[in-house]
Amino acid sequence: MSIAQQERMAASPYGFEMSVSSGLQRYSARHGDLTLTSVFQPVFSLAHLRAVGYEGLLRSHDALDRAVSPLDVFGQASRFGDLLHVDRLTQALHLENFNVLGAEREWLFLNVHPGTLTDPYHAAALLANLRRLELPPRRIVLEVLEQRAEDLDRLADAVKQFRDRGFLIALDDFGAGHSNIERIWQLNPDIVKLDRIMLSHAAHRADMATILPGLVSLLHEAGKLVLIEGVETEHEAQLALGCDADFVQGFFFGRPNPGLADSVHATECIADVTERYRALTEERARRNATRLAPYIRAFERAAERLVAGEPLEEVCWNFLALDDAARCFLLDARGRQAGRNVVLRADRASHETRFLPLADAQGANWLRRPYFHTAIEAPERVHVTRPYLSINEAVPCVTLSLATRIGEQMCVLCGDIDWHEDIAPA
């Protein structure tokens, strides 16, 4: 052990012990009959193809060298009223081990109990440890754990003070328990970590897989970077890429380890999964184009007949005869619907009775819909929307639209197609 290491240990109030294994230095601490130490799970940027941070995770063994779950360690500490002390001890241990890890620019993600932030003594201890180790606050991401806070205003004030000192703030386990949209507005984190349960649902349910990109987009619009944790399979990695997450964490990309991530392996892993995502995306686009082709041909023919003077009720039959065609309707130049929806099949009309208050759309204004303004901006060509929720039946659909002149008036012909896309494992 070097003189500098001895001096640092002498300055530490925790009496950490150092061991060296496979050339890697690690500090450990004693708590009762338990030996505590750190491992670090890398956090990867999908765009940068490398680790940009490491989350400090607790590992514990009893006197017989049997592993003890961190949940059991903190659970027992909570029962004995020792939770904040163990929380502070764990943070100090992670800081010590991170400091000898060799990371030069990456963040340390540090889990903190809300009480640690709001208690002046515990907050001061965290700051003192950083000063002693000469770690600038900008290197630390404080993960506010998913816990019920008795005084959210006090917690929000404490979080602001830490941010003002240069720390980054992450909201952990978003979508589980008390970690929800309201807490985002209250704590204003820099990074939001989506709970693994959301990714797991998205991997097995098409509706959740559709929701996930929208949720990430909402968080981006709120000014938050998004980290998806618990990525364990290729399919889940594809979902993370598809929803435009900024960061990922999980066994698929890198397991918790006492040392740094293998940068070459990480780059190859992310590059490979990105390339497969590109190929899958292009294949999906080809399938969708093939699927849409007969609808577009029938829709173009309907528009031609409409311009020639035939009534809407007569020109849409070929389009509506296709399996997933739902309805046709006509808008004026201001987005107002002229006439009723044209529906062909009796089973469709029967289904729409569940949404009977919405059945009569004559005079409705669809000015805000993308299918209207994209058609008006580029007339005489068919436009296809992205899948969205139809107000008519609350089911996913895409809409074809084409702006053209009928006599002296500019009109927009629209056709809805039911759009159910299976989410199958890659």
Mean pLDDT score of the chain, rounded to an integer?
A: 88
pLDDT band per the 50, 70, 90 thresholds, residue 78:
confident
Q: Which residue has the tokens 């968080």?
A: 219
Question: For residue 282, is pLDDT > 70?
Answer: yes
Question: For residue 160, is pLDDT > 60?
Answer: yes
CATH number, domain 292-418 = 3.30.450.20
Average pLDDT over residues 257-267: 93
pLDDT given for residue 5 in this prediction: 43
**Cα(373)–Cα(333) distance, integer angstroms:** 10
Question: For residue 56, is pLDDT > 80?
Answer: yes
pLDDT given for residue 177 in this prediction: 58
**Cα(168)–Cα(137) distance, integer angstroms:** 8
Which residues, including other chains, have CB under 8 Å from residue 82's CB and lie 6 or more apart?
Answer: none
pLDDT given for residue 1 in this prediction: 40
> Domain residues of the chain, as ranges?
3-261, 292-418
Average pLDDT over residues 380-386: 97
pLDDT single digits (tens) 307-364: 999 999 999 999 999 999 999 999 999 999 999 999 876 656 555 567 778 878 899 9
Mutual angle of helices 196-204 and 234-242, in 10-degree steps: 100
CATH code matching the domain that covers 3-261, chosen among 3.20.20.450, 3.40.50.2300, 3.40.91.10, 1.20.950.20? 3.20.20.450
pLDDT given for residue 6 in this prediction: 35
pLDDT given for residue 423 in this prediction: 47
| Residue 400, token pair as written in the block | 């074809």
Buried residues in 252-283 as b, exposed as e (16+ CB within 10 A): bbbebebbbbeeeebeebbeebbeebeeeeee
Average pLDDT over residues 153-162: 92
pLDDT given for residue 3 in this prediction: 33
Q: How many CB atoms lie within 10 A of CB 83?
A: 18
pLDDT band per the 50, 70, 90 thresholds, residue 148:
low
pLDDT single digits (tens) 213-261: 989 999 999 999 999 999 999 999 999 999 999 999 999 999 999 999 9
pLDDT given for residue 114 in this prediction: 86
pLDDT given for residue 143 in this prediction: 94
Of residues 344 and 379, more confidence is placed in 379
Average pLDDT over residues 88-116: 92
**What percentage of the chain exceeds 70 in pLDDT?**
90
pLDDT given for residue 186 in this prediction: 87
Mutual angle of helices 120-133 and 3-11, in 10-degree steps: 170
pLDDT given for residue 53 in this prediction: 97
pLDDT given for residue 83 in this prediction: 85
Average pLDDT over residues 13-42: 82
**Cα(225)–Cα(214) distance, integer angstroms:** 14
pLDDT given for residue 345 in this prediction: 65
